[in-house]
Amino acid sequence: MQYPDPIAKLIDSYMKLPGVGEKTATRLAFYTIDMDKEDVHTFADALVNAKEQLHYCSVCGNITDVDPCAICTDKSRDRGTILVVEQVKDVMSIDRMNEYHGLYHVLHGVLSPIEGLGPDDINITSLIRRLQNNDEVHEVIVATNATPEGEATASYLARLIKPAGIKVTRLAHGLAVGSDIEYADQMTLMKAVEGRTEL
């Protein structure tokens, strides 16, 4: 059966989301059509506003609507520790447990020669510049995922940072190998942060 063009376009739009196949996209499209007109406009406005008003923090790379972000400007945070993560969603996962009170740095990816991603393709240069311009930082915690690419990125960062006399630690392997920080429970994350080791 051929759907009317507006429905077909809506289904196609939903299918662009990760993990959404044709059946789920179709269900979401029909759910959207059944919503109140005001709710649809609110939903559409939220999408447009998020796209237009959010950007990456010029200091840490976290997603924000103000620059620098709220974490970077929070005076109560420990300025001597920077926790390096792969993605913005990892900042949210770690910060939610309320055990880590330092600063963050988002790489927006990991080193992956297979995918053609080298040091210039992720947010490493700004981290090094940040460390050079800040005498307060005494520890960098590398919290990349426990994947081959995450491990390679952690080792690369340790080789870059340690000569500056800054302690480089890695999250303990409380996280299962091959897992993502985003999906770990809070207890696992807390144990991983507590049991970090120096690289």
- pLDDT confidence of residue 1: 67
**Options 1.20.1090.10, 1.50.40.10, 1.10.3720.10, 1.10.8.420; CATH of 5-53:** 1.10.8.420
pLDDT at 176: 73
CA–CA distance, 5 with 68 (Å, rounded to integer): 43
- Residue that has been written with the tokens 């609507």 in this structure: 65
pLDDT of residue 161: 96
CATH of range 68-198; options 1.10.10.10, 2.60.40.10, 3.10.520.10, 3.40.1360.10: 3.40.1360.10
The residues spanned by each domain of the chain are 5-53, 68-198
- pLDDT tens over the chain, length 199 residues: 689 999 999 999 999 999 999 999 999 999 999 999 999 999 999 999 999 999 999 999 999 999 999 999 999 999 999 999 999 999 999 999 999 999 999 999 999 989 999 999 999 999 999 999 888 999 999 999 888 899 899 999 999 999 999 999 998 766 677 778 888 878 678 777 877 777 7
Using alpha carbons only, what angle is made at residue 152 by residues 156 and 155, rounded to the nearest 5 degrees? 40
pLDDT value of position 197 = 74
